[in-house]
Structure 1
Amino acid sequence: MQGFACSRALLFAIAAATLPVAAHSADGAGDKTPAARKSADGKYIDRGRYLVRTAGCNDCHTPGYPQSGGKVPEEKWLTGEHVGWRGPWGTTYAANLRLYMNGIDENQWIKIGHGKELRPPMPWFALRDMTEDDLRAIYRYVRSLGPAGAPAPAYVPPDQTPQGPYVQFPMPPK
């Protein structure tokens, strides 16, 4: 299947949907009793659910989410996408975060969120600007969903054409 042009309006909407939101700390995170830990984890998970919804994670990482106006059941959230994003960097695919997060620990996620530049169109800079508590909340929420789905397709280098559907980003002017 051939790619289709991605409008500037769509690119702006993707970027706007991924702006970071205000920081929030979980109460009781330092308390070591089982009840306090469960309460703190619940607050982190609730915060993570909120961040995933409002920061635009589902827009790319949940199949059919934007097209349905966000009416995808939560049990199908963040299972990756098989539509590629093709540009001068090659073709990237929104990862299955439910599988990805189960392969790393929380501290690895925080290092990735605060320092790793990822290929477009992933707004890695939005993760970089989130607080450590926000990243912990996202991690704990995604882990609470459990693994589901299949891995997204592998990255395709710029000199190769992807096999499946993709969005073609305009080439920069010369």
Structure 2
Amino acid sequence: MILRKASARAALLLVGAAAVGGAAQAETQLERGEYLVRVVAACGNCHTPFGPTGPDMSQELAGRLVEKNPAFEAWAPNITPDPETGVGAWSDAELKRAIREGIRPDGSLIGPPMPFVFYRDLGDADLDAIVAFLRTLPAVKSETPASVYNFPLPPDYGPPVESVTAPARGPTAEYGEYLAGPVAHCMECHSKFGPAGPMLSTHLGSGGNEFHGPWGISITANLTPHADGIAGRSDEELIDMIRLGIRDGKPMLPPMGYPYYAKMTDEDAQAIVAYLRTLPPLPLPE
């Protein structure tokens, strides 16, 4: 059932107020990790299998087929603490390296669509929180096939990451850039893909990528302040798109993780919108 826009917004205001109120209190590491994994980073959008009515939370983060196309067949692996089919036998350092650098404990490289270009800039404290929360999940025994790539993967995604400090939290463009990049990796899907992945230097946020699924074909929106993008949109409209998946009163299509973003705090949603306003205005790619 689709909520009416006004009713849905009212519900989100209550969620946002509760979240902001909770943030004003001392936030534990596990609370931060849960918020990142289950809301802003939306890890389940790739790693949790889908059931008839949406994500199958009895199999939360147990892995699934993410995408199959001529270039690759990508499986998001089981990242629950199961020691045989998940990451239960990995050390915290090994799991952090896999998330941020794309390297498994055996030295092999994880392939796309895991967005390592962005995850390399995850702040140390947030990465620690994500790993700490993943350790608390029920272990699910679910072995996923290995991904298949019809092109050579690079030797690595860059030099080892030593330490990253995230910007201060708040409804600022600087923090919004951190959320839209390293955490939620919005710019991955919303920047036109080229032979080597999203073209961040020339098409940052301009959209135009096609995603095929049971819903049909969805095309990523232009997020830049261009006439083809968000120039004529109010902040409230943009936040409705992010958290409700509603545009001009109509539901938007997957694969954007609206069920996860619905619980995003007001402050974080405002920060993302503030950042989008700073992007160079670019037309929708032809």
- Regarding TM over 0.5, the answer is yes
CA contact (8 A) 1:110 1:136 kept: yes
Conserved in 2, the CA contact under 8 Å of 1:80 and 1:151?
yes
Alignment match, 1:72? 200
2:185 corresponds, among 56, 61, 76, to 56
Contact 2:205 2:279 in 1 (8 A): no
Between the two structures, name the one with larger relative contact order (CA 8 Å, sep ≥ 6): 1
Kindly indicate whether the alpha-carbon contact (under 8 Å) linking 2:192 and 2:285 is maintained by their aligned counterparts in 1: no
Partner of 2:169: 24
Deviation at 1:121, TM superposition (A): 1.3
**RMSD, aligned CA:** 3.4
Equivalent residues of 2:211, 2:217 under 8 A apart? yes
* Residues 69-127 of structure 1 deviation map (CA, whole Å, 9 limit, x = unaligned): x7732x6310112x411122111111111143212101222233332353121112332
1:96 is aligned to 2:222 = yes
The 8 Å contact of residues 79 and 149 in structure 1, kept in 2 or not, is answered as yes
More helix by share: 1
- Please report how far the alpha carbon of residue 67 of structure 1 lies from its aligned counterpart in structure 2 after TM superposition: 3.2
The structure-2 alpha-carbon separation of the partners of 1:121 and 1:111, relative to structure 1 and needing over 3 Å to count, comes to closer
Identify the residue that residue 106 of structure 1 maps to in structure 2.
235
What SS does the corresponding residue of 2:262 show, helix, strand or coil? helix
Q: How does 1:1-174 map to 2 (within 5 A)?
A: 4=70, 6-9=73-76, 13=114, 24-26=169-171, 44-54=172-182, 55-64=184-193, 67-68=196-197, 72-73=200-201, 76-81=203-208, 83-98=209-224, 99=226, 100-116=229-245, 118-150=252-284
Count of aligned pairs: 126
CA displacement at 1:53 relative to structure 2: 0.9
Quick one: distance in 1 between partners of 2:221 and 2:195?
16
Whose Rg is larger?
2
Query: TM (normalized to structure 1)?
Result: 0.57
What amino acid is the match of 1:46? E
